[in-house]
Structure 1
Amino acid sequence: MSVDIIVRGYHLDIYQHVNNGRYLEFLEESRWDFLGHHRLVEQFQERDLAIVVANININYRKPAVFGDVLRVSTSVAAIGNKSAKFSQEVWRLENGEPKDLVVDAVVTFCLLDDASQNAVVISGDVRAILESLLEIGE
């Protein structure tokens, strides 16, 4: 699953490329699109669970500049006992096709029980939901 983002002037830093902090927003936009497309927020809310980010690791590969069109993709990459991971990539497009990998990231998330605010073991139907999305990205 991916979203396209056009680099605007307010995304840039004094060096005229996308500020590193903006990539957090770009990655989040793609994750929300992924979550919405698969109705994950609603499915977890029905079970009194909240999805929360526990860790983000970002590799900055190439700069993006004003006017670039970036494609930000998200997929479920791994599922552990109490956490899972999204794999995300940001590609610069040329003529609508990915040309340069700009950023790649791994985002670790967990599911919190609404009442206790503690991470829960990912099991049963919740695990099955996430397993159905492993690496498909759509």
Structure 2
Amino acid sequence: MVGEMPVRVYYEDTDHGGGVYYANYLRFFERGRTELLRSLGFEQDALAGKQGVLFVVCRVEVDYLRPAVFNDLLRVITEVAELGRARVVFEQAVYRQDEHRPLCQGRVTVACVEGESFQPARIPEGIRQALGYGH
């Protein structure tokens, strides 16, 4: 399962040197994962409210390769790399709109937890199926 989302770099996204501040790439990754789930029909607030589960980041590995700068139009690519019973590993990358070399790439591991206890929980079957994994 692969998702793609556009992002415009605003002045607030940049650091003193004019490049995108490193932590903002994590925000772009977060939006990419949220939009991938949304495109499959899953809103995270509804999952918390109706199914009682949350997705929380538990590991991040990021390589910053080249800077994005103010006013760049970017593409955030989000792909499911692994799916376990209670976790999903996403491979994500940020590209300038018309380029094929990534500016930033990473692996983000997300755990499914119970909303009240934060204990590990099985990923709901509907999400597993939507991500392309059956029983």
Offset at residue 6 of structure 1 (A): 1.5
Partner of 1:83: 87
1:102 corresponds to 2:103: yes
Over 4 Å off, 4+ runs = none
Local SS of the residue matching 1:120:
coil
Contact 1:62/1:103, CA 8 A, preserved across alignment = yes
CA separation in 2, counterparts of 1:16 and 1:46? 43
CA separation in 2, counterparts of 1:45 and 1:107? 24
Contact 1:62/1:100, CA 8 A, preserved across alignment = no
Contact 1:79/1:131, CA 8 A, preserved across alignment = no
**Equivalent residues, number:** 129
CA separation in 2, counterparts of 1:115 and 1:14? 40
Percent of residue pairs bearing the same amino acid type: 27
CA separation in 2, counterparts of 1:116 and 1:8? 37
Local SS of the residue matching 1:100:
coil
Contact 1:91/1:99, CA 8 A, preserved across alignment = yes
CA separation in 1, counterparts of 2:29 and 2:87? 18
Give the 5 Å matches for 1:1-138.
Answer: 1-40=3-42, 41=44, 42=46, 45-94=49-98, 98-122=99-123, 126-127=124-125, 129-130=127-128, 132-134=130-132
CA separation in 2, counterparts of 1:76 and 1:118? 23
After TM superposition, the score normalised by the length of structure 1 is 0.79
After TM superposition, the score normalised by the length of structure 2 is 0.81
Contact 2:48/2:115, CA 8 A, preserved across alignment = no
Local SS of the residue matching 2:97:
strand
Give the aligned CA root-mean-square deviation in angstroms. 2.2
CA separation in 1, counterparts of 2:129 and 2:62? 24
Offset at residue 63 of structure 1 (A): 0.9
Amino acid at match of 2:102: L
CA separation in 2, counterparts of 1:15 and 1:128? 45
Contact 2:55/2:113, CA 8 A, preserved across alignment = yes
